[in-house]
Amino acid sequence: MSTSPPPITLRLGGYQKPASIHNRAAGCFGEQLGSRLGDRLRFELVGNVLELGRGSADLPRMVASGELEACYISSVHFTGPVPEFGALELPFVVRDRPTVHQAFEGEYGALLEAGMHASTDMRLLGLWDNGFRHLSNRVRPIRTPADCQGLKIRTQLSALHGELFSALGFIPVPVDVKEYVEQAAGPRFDAQENPLTNTFNFSVHKLHRYMTLTGHLFGGTVFICNARAFDRWPAEVQQAVLESAREATLHQRALAAAEDDTILGRLDPAENEIIVPTVDERQAFIDAAGPVIARHRVGFDPKVLSWLAAG
């Protein structure tokens, strides 16, 4: 008597709370898989590895080792093997959400997918939107680079980001988000920069009164899976994964597009001061970052930058 093969397990890891746009999109991915494959596949969302004592930077390693089959993670972690991701790390380059979404859907996205396939052991399932990054701090309102002088700011693990925030007058302290969340209330950090969704979901808004909507960087997120695992799956499972990832990616971008207004609506004006720089004030940030932008943009094909700045 024949028996059905055991279900395929797909564990997807993240580093955020259930309400985050990323984990909601990850849940959508699991639901889509269930509708397509039923009990042929067992989906597990490990939504916040920080609660397991792991750092967000551990996620790609967990996927590579087989501890997880898939994860989402900031694209900054792949600027080495896929240099074109670095275009997203250039300050004040991404024009707006529609432009970057169009780039993800077009030649830029195809270039990133090919680069991941050629240079890593990951398969790119989707390019997600982590939002424009803004400043927050607990010391004083920031309206121009002069207000940044001497503040210790947590940054991502990116040398380019360190150059940027030094140019703005900050003292950059690059650490994984796990370390930052654990120490945010202590004396090590005065400020941080993140999309509003992260600032709110990591509860930083309870520590930082002042939020300045600089939009200095755009946060790209990669949704990836272990390429070896993907290649072992039957063709119909591969197809279901790709189709489900596509649905989850579209859902994630829609969530991201609405998230800033949602977060701003949930902040208490008595607790948080939202500072929207004027055109001249924002230009002062762009001018301060000018040498960093000029130094790094020469390393990119102008066509790549045009995809992000078109309009």
Going from N- to C-terminal start, the domains of the chain cover: 8-305
Q: Distance (Å, rounded) from C-alpha 189 to C-alpha 165?
A: 14
**Mean pLDDT, to the nearest integer, of 8-27?**
95
pLDDT of residue 98: 94
Q: What is the mean pLDDT of residues 220-242?
A: 97
Average pLDDT over the chain, rounded to whole?
95
- Looking up tokens 């977060």 gives 263
- Any idea what DSSP says for residue 236? H
**CA count, 13 A, side-chain hemisphere, 291:** 7
Query: What's the pLDDT score for residue 88?
Result: 93
User: What's the rounded Cα separation, in Å, for the pair 219 and 131?
Assistant: 5
Instruction: Using alpha carbons, list the distances in angstroms from residue 96 to 169, 179, 308.
Output: 26, 30, 8
pLDDT band at 4 (very low <50, low <70, confident <90, very high): confident
Strand pairing class (210-226; 70-74): antiparallel
287 pLDDT above the threshold of 80: yes
Domain covering 8-305 assigned CATH 3.40.190.170 in the classification: yes
Provide the pLDDT for residue 133: 96
Start-to-end CA span in the chain (Å): 63
Residue 177 has a pLDDT of: 87
Report residue 1's pLDDT band, with 50, 70 and 90 as the boundaries. Answer: very low
Does the structure show a pLDDT above 60 at 311? Answer: no
Q: What angle do CA 285, 22, 263 make, to 5 degrees?
A: 55
Calculate mean pLDDT across residues 259-267: 94
Q: What integer is the mean pLDDT of 57-64?
A: 96
- pLDDT band at 5; cut points 50, 70, 90: confident
Q: Look at residue 6 in the predicted model and tell me its pLDDT.
A: 85
On the question of pLDDT at 213 being above 60, the answer is yes
Percent of the chain with pLDDT over 90: 93
**Region 264-285 average pLDDT:** 96
Helix H or strand E encompassing 70: strand 70-74
Is it the case that residue 201 has pLDDT exceeding 80?
A: yes
The confidence score (pLDDT) of residue 115 equals 97
DSSP the chain: ---PPPPEEEEEE-BS-TTSHHHHHHHHHHHHHHHHHGGGEEEEEE-BGGGGT--TTHHHHHHHHTS-SEEEEEGGGGTTTSGGGGGGGSTT----HHHHHHHHHSHHHHHHHHHHHHHSSEEEEEEEEEEEEEEEESSS--SSGGGGTT-EEEE-S-HHHHHHHHHTT-EEEE--HHHHHHHTTSTT-SEEEEEHHHHHHTTGGGT--EEEEEEEEEEEEEEEEEHHHHHHS-HHHHHHHHHHHHHHHHHHHHHHHHHHHHHHHHS-TTT-EEE---HHHHHHHHHHHHHHHHHHHTTS-HHHHHHHH--
pLDDT digits (tens, 9 = 90+) for 130-184: 999 999 999 999 999 999 999 999 998 889 999 999 999 999 999 998 899 899 9
pTM of the model: 0.91
Average of pLDDT values for 91-112? 96
Average pLDDT over residues 55-70: 96
* pLDDT at 310 (0 to 100): 60
